[in-house]
Structure 1
Amino acid sequence: MGSKPKKSDIEKSDISHIMYFYIKALHIIFIVTWFAGMFYIVRLFIYNTEAQEKDELEKQILSNQFSIMIKRLWLGITWPSAILTLIFGGWVAYLFGSIPTWLWIKLALVAGLYAYHFTLHKIYKDESKGIFKYTSQQLRIWNEGATVFLFAIVMLVTVKQSMSLLWGMIGLVAFIAILLAAIRIYKTLRK
């Protein structure tokens, strides 16, 4: 006959189960703040780049203000959120146990998202030194990188069991094409 589980084993299991949901909630919260930071930082890069084309007084005033906003957003919100997303995400994965195929794909997308984050950090460092390598149009296109990762990751996590890899890739490519078309249309309308 099998032995009956001890009360302490059941309590540990319940606590672990409850803790999983709290850790997962924190992971999602920091994902949201991290993405918010990545979405807004590129907009600030765009505005700061466009400020360089203004007359000297306006350029100086705008650049000073954008520099403060960029630094506070990047170092005060975006970087801490990226780190906490990684910590709580790793904790969730540990509590989850085994790693199914869809989660490996998500982890690959998350690795790409961190690579994108580091490219934003490079732009942050350059702009803080007064180096503007990209046009505002190039930054507008680069701004959609976070959107593409968000779309891909949320779709994968939400419909993981019912989505084939082929249709997922086709949907992602179609989404990217729509984004690029929208950027092109916006550029035409701005002129």
Structure 2
Amino acid sequence: MPREAEHYGFTTSASRRVWVRGPWEAIVPSNDIDEVIDQLCPAIMKLPGAMDRDYGQEYCGALYTLGDGVYHASFPSPLGPRRPVGPSKRKTCYAPMSIRDERGRASVIADYHSHPWFPSPMSEEDRRANTQRYFIRIQFDARCIIHKLVPYANEPRPGELYVRVDKQWRLVGHILPDDKATGRITTVTE
């Protein structure tokens, strides 16, 4: 199980900026980032509170490369704002701002986070332009329904929201340029 100070922490005591260590040994690296993504949810769901619904714990981490075409997952971190104990449909952890991998300089491609209940589509806050740090955002719920957002945050084209079905990404919505600030989805119909 990941441990604070060894595998994740705040960059300073007064900061909300989280660092995480990589690579996480529970996830097999791959030249295909989707193979790494497919391993995340089963590994996270083994962690304390990951499936405890309203009383559960959200975990955040990152997907990265060292520039060699191989993708890795960082350790997950539960660090986030302190919330009172009790039921809440609002769980939060801070997406990591940096990866510490002693093998080299990490280039972060995506952040990932879990939700401890089902069903749980990607939240409006998770879709808003001002919360995007990386090229991709991955979110999954307690039944391992995986969502991927390609926000195109600083581009004039629409963001794209996908769901993982049978090891394929199915486009389910766009976030039009005028809606990026709010994260409003325009549903895609087949």
Fold in common (TM above 0.5): no
Give TM-score scaled by structure 1 length: 0.25
Whose helix proportion is higher, 1 or 2?
Answer: 1
Higher-RCO chain (CA-CA 8 Å, sequence separation at least 6): 1
Whose strand proportion is higher, 1 or 2?
Answer: 2
